[in-house]
Structure 1
Amino acid sequence: MREARLGAHVQADGVRFSVWSGAAERAWLSLFDDQDRESARMEMTQDEGGVYSVFVPGLKVGARYGFRADGPYEPQSGLWFDPDKLLVDPYALEIDRPYRYDARLAAPRGEGGDTAPLMPKTVVCKLPDLPLRPPLFEPGGLIYEINVRAFTMRHPEVPEAQRGTLCALAHPAIIDHLRALRVSAVELMPITAWMDERHLPSLGLQNAWGYNPISFMALDPRLAPGGWQELRETVAALHEAGIGVILDLVFNHTAESDVLGPTLSLRGLDARAYYRHDGQGRLVNDTGTGNTVACDHPMVHEIVLDTLRAFIRYAGVDGFRFDLAPILGRDASGFRPAAPLLRAMVEDAEIGSRVLIAEPWDIGPGGYQLGNFPAPFLEWNDMFRDDVRRFQRGDPGMIGRLATRLAGSSDIFTGERSRSVNFLAAHDGMTLADLVAYEHKHNHANGEDNRDGHSENLSWNHGVEGPSGDTSVVALRRRDLKALLALLFASRGAIMLTAGDEFGRTQGGNNNAYAQDNEITWLDWAGRDRDLEAFVRELGELRSRHAVLRDTTLLGEGDVRWLREDGEPMTVADWGDPARRSLVMVLSDVRVTIGPDDVTIAGKETAGG
């Protein structure tokens, strides 16, 4: 297996450190003692390929370090060299503390002083490989999206010391819940180390989602205080229960942000190479976060591929979900499905064997790429989300689009199988319960005067905005939730449920709760809707019993019969009737009846059992 050539490599007689820069004029390794004092600074030598290296004899696992680099300081042309800025190793596997934003990290050269006291130090690690095993995931299974901290912070059965951490996912009460829902794989929102956006501290807020990384491999100490061992043990416990683990990774931007952002790692090493710039040397912002990682650069290819291999080899994870995935296939001309990085991921013996899921949009030119990722990538299907929401909201003329979504979205995905990940709600946007209770977003707690987040959510409220004591309104909302969930579980392709939506989690109408690390996002286990939860368990049981519901083959003529509610075949006039609100989908051994007010799924045993 190919070994990473960069980072810290422990040898019998010491440690070799290597880092790449194509523009630096000098580079140093800084070592730190247990009191966080810089104990040594060693200049590194550069080879012809731009790799700076130094060997430190006698050094062992646990040593703490950072890099420094010098060269031109010309932010207007994409160069931020400043030897006063301590830089985290892009190949860091462990850091000794969480990242904390401080304005001095963004100070111009010569003005902010040495940033070493403000920065985490990289810890020298040597991790053993795990055997490469096939991914534990069924293509038509249930993916369960989890915010690790929010999921367990209020769970009464999880010991207080474990709440909000990875090891809590291995607790028997959590595993029992996942198994009862028939979860095929958990999809963990970012567990790698991140930094708060610079405007949050002054608002008394902090990032609750983790989509603001710095080093791509290092786990966040707040989520994984036990480091890689904690991740390995959690993955092993979930595997023992028959549940796969998918990691949500962010390779599209970093917390170094825009021209006013902090210098933490890649920016101080070679910003012009690691980030995309326009012809005038200005940072490209195809992510909405201030910078865009240059995924068309060979060194970025190397970091991304080595990061994925690390999570496979050292933790045994089953797959990856890629945030704003078109960035992975972007160059100056736009997105290309056959871009070198995407091709390398699919063709790599280790990475290509995993589950690969794309969020197929970013905000750059031509950023909406649903259906355009190369096989075997699965893709988040927002057209399923939006069409099912419109149908249940009562929008006219939706019956044909609903049938297309239930059948696997053949208008989007070509070939024999659907690569759709069907979902109704995710971490970004309204929760499922809020979808039927709020017509408008309520993001005032975010400190941006309710300007942030999407304004159109395809949501409705039955005439009462927010919580209601009217039992008839409550009944209507529960009916809608059950209908939406039944449609999801009856659809072809992989399906995804965000943790807590099975029991009515609410964020009070906040559809952009990225900065709410509090009761707004923490799941209320004590107050959960147990009736709704029992219904979702029944849906999971039904889907697990009938292979035809988990089959991802795209439905074509002969595979399915579409009937009216009276049992007669749908006609052209029926499909074109904008007022039609029901249909019957008949598969080989399951009949799914969809009406305006409810969804019922009745299994029918075949001769084969």
Structure 2
Amino acid sequence: MTPGLGAHVERGVTRFAVRAPRAEALDLCLFDGEAETRHAMAREGEVWALDIAGDLAGTCYGYRAHGTYAPEQNLWFDPAKLLVDPYALELDRRFVQHPRLGHYGEDTADLVPRAVVTGPLAEVPHQPPLFERGGLIYEINVRSFTLLHTDVPEAERGTIAALAHPAVIAHLQKLHVSAVELMPIVAWIDERHLPPLGLANHWGYNPVAMMALDPGLCPGGVAELRAAVAALHAGGIGVILDLVFNHSGESDVHGGTLSLRGLDPAAYARAPGGGLINDTGCGNTLDFANPAVRQLMIDSLAHFVRHCGVDGFRFDLAPVIARGPGFDPNAPIFAELAAEPVLADRIMIAEPWDIGPGGYQLGHFPPHWLEWNDRYRDDVRRFWKGEATIGTLATRIAGSSDLFGADCPKGSKSVNFLAAHDGFTLADTVSYAHRHNHANGEDNRDGHGENHSWNGGVEGPSDDPAILA
């Protein structure tokens, strides 16, 4: 992890450090219940730091940054905004959406989660990843997967802890699951349009704190995830985290100031005219030409391996991490990930597309990376409908050498799937002809439109990340 960033307890001293290169002053805010005490921090180059005597593990904290507020100049400093440490490992509450988050001068201390000083964390002995190429990766939304499981204690249902329950592990073993891929479990915020519709983001693809586990899914913090990974490993099941580093929940210029925007707005990619680049469809794009952004990603991944023992990662809209601004198959992030000792042997899986220029990059990630193969999904469904040849089907089942080359290191790079969280579920595929996502108020614009479903002439609902709150 980058030396010094975050909150660290060592030899009876708690050190706080946060990167804010363009701030004019920075306050550390310590909380005792709702009572807030502010401490001026000292500049150390691009970092602001403060040492406080004593072991403050368990203390809640945040930051307030002072400086120019000029959004047209990419400056968002507003000391009324409580800011979450980008290196926070645990939060005391979930994020909530509110108009005040985006209004200059309106205090948000009652709205924004406070980071929690964790103190030294136990490290998991480094082991080769528990992963079988050619095995079954089982994508899981943790809350939905366990919320109604009657064998799981009620207090654990819908949480990471439920994944460690023997009944859950036995079910996964019965399905011959090689690894579970957990849909986002770090702290996220609802998009602005959802609360007025009575909806909530259920999937979690709108993160704010890249290392901090969502308190609703993982109330026991790092220790809870570590215990669940250990239990799954004992059952012969690997653990892959689906992580989002392409954007943050601070959204577009009308979004809230929650963390990076108020501390280091240069983390977001901007067009020559100054506007936010939106290669994600979520209002902003993290700038991976910025070394600090790449380091935040590397440090986040290393934390989940070192302290939780996870086996690998799936990257949402992965071309973004190789943009600077255009996609580069030799982008610095790939070599930097490979050079990090605890990450060099981890399983890396790309979702190889985004909505930016040249965003479809299937087959163009490094040789040791795996890639989600939507061509497999579509061609197998088309064959089922009688629209693709047996040769096409054979090519897809055999590893898609037309896409990845015939001599892939360690076997195929293809992650073959028929259904995932995007687009039709398997049940929808055999039931409906077209998407029908009207209940979420998006006017049926969202979701994958070319589902190659078998059933003809029947309209009906498909899956969607927004559900009734």
Instruction: State whether TM-score is above 0.5.
Output: yes
Give ranges in structure 2 of 5+ residues lacking alignment. none
* Counterpart mapping for 1:122-521 below 5 A: 122-126=115-119, 127-271=121-265, 273-332=266-325, 334-395=326-387, 397-414=388-405, 415-416=407-408, 417-461=411-455, 465=458, 509-511=461-463, 513-516=464-467
Shift of 1:62: 0.5
Q: Please tell me the residue identity of whatever aligns with 1:91.
A: Y
Task: Tell me how far apart the structure 2 counterparts of residues 144 and 284 of structure 1 sit (CA, whole Å).
Answer: 33
Shift of 1:198: 0.7
Task: Tell me how far apart the structure 2 counterparts of residues 256 and 405 of structure 1 sit (CA, whole Å).
Answer: 39
The answer for the alignment partner of 2:78 in structure 1 is 82
Task: Tell me how far apart the structure 1 counterparts of residues 382 and 34 of structure 2 sit (CA, whole Å).
Answer: 56
Give ranges in structure 1 of 5+ residues lacking alignment. 467-507, 519-609
Q: Does the CA contact (< 8 Å) of 2:2 and 2:295 recur in 1?
A: no
> Which of 97, 102, 105 lines up with 1:106 in the alignment?
102
SS state at 1:116 partner = coil
Shift of 1:285: 0.2
Q: Does the CA contact (< 8 Å) of 2:186 and 2:211 recur in 1?
A: yes
Task: Tell me how far apart the structure 2 counterparts of residues 418 and 292 of structure 1 sit (CA, whole Å).
Answer: 30
Identity of matched residues, % = 59
1:69 aligns with 2:65: yes
The answer for the alignment partner of 2:93 in structure 1 is 97
1:343-388, CA deviations, whole angstroms, 9 ceiling, x for partnerless residues?
2112322112111100000000010000100021100000001111
1:24 aligns with 2:46: no
Q: Does the CA contact (< 8 Å) of 2:152 and 2:167 recur in 1?
A: yes
Q: Does the CA contact (< 8 Å) of 1:77 and 1:280 recur in 2?
A: no
Shift of 1:455: 2.4
Shift of 1:158: 2.0
The answer for the alignment partner of 2:39 in structure 1 is 42
Task: Tell me how far apart the structure 1 counterparts of residues 468 and 205 of structure 2 sit (CA, whole Å).
Answer: 13
Task: Tell me how far apart the structure 1 counterparts of residues 48 and 333 of structure 2 sit (CA, whole Å).
Answer: 24
Task: Tell me how far apart the structure 2 counterparts of residues 377 and 404 of structure 1 sit (CA, whole Å).
Answer: 20
Shift of 1:4: 4.0
Q: Please tell me the residue identity of whatever aligns with 1:85.
A: K
Q: Please tell me the residue identity of whatever aligns with 1:42.
A: H
Q: Does the CA contact (< 8 Å) of 2:385 and 2:454 recur in 1?
A: yes
Task: Tell me how far apart the structure 2 counterparts of residues 3 and 285 of structure 1 sit (CA, whole Å).
Answer: 28
1:225-251, CA deviations, whole angstroms, 9 ceiling, x for partnerless residues?
111111111101100000000000000
Q: Please tell me the residue identity of whatever aligns with 1:81.
A: F
Bigger CA drift: 98-107 or 406-415? 406-415
* Counterpart mapping for 1:593-608 below 5 A: none
Task: Tell me how far apart the structure 2 counterparts of residues 451 and 413 of structure 1 sit (CA, whole Å).
Answer: 32
Q: Does the CA contact (< 8 Å) of 1:77 and 1:282 recur in 2?
A: no
SS state at 1:29 partner = strand
SS state at 1:442 partner = coil
Q: Does the CA contact (< 8 Å) of 2:423 and 2:449 recur in 1?
A: no
Q: Does the CA contact (< 8 Å) of 1:66 and 1:89 recur in 2?
A: yes
SS state at 2:158 partner = coil
SS state at 1:411 partner = helix
| Larger helix share, 1 or 2 | 1
Shift of 1:5: 2.7
Bigger CA drift: 185-194 or 14-23? 14-23
Q: Does the CA contact (< 8 Å) of 2:384 and 2:454 recur in 1?
A: no
Task: Tell me how far apart the structure 1 counterparts of residues 316 and 62 of structure 2 sit (CA, whole Å).
Answer: 28
Q: Please tell me the residue identity of whatever aligns with 1:308.
A: L
Q: Does the CA contact (< 8 Å) of 1:296 and 1:341 recur in 2?
A: no
Q: Which of the pair has more CA radius of gyration?
A: 1
The answer for the alignment partner of 1:549 in structure 2 is none
Runs of 4+ in 1 over 4 A off after TM superposition: none
Task: Tell me how far apart the structure 1 counterparts of residues 367 and 138 of structure 2 sit (CA, whole Å).
Answer: 22
Cα distance change on mapping 1:429 and 1:4 into 2, 3 Å = farther
Q: Please tell me the residue identity of whatever aligns with 2:393.
A: L
Q: Please tell me the residue identity of whatever aligns with 1:41.
A: R
Task: Tell me how far apart the structure 2 counterparts of residues 348 and 57 of structure 1 sit (CA, whole Å).
Answer: 32
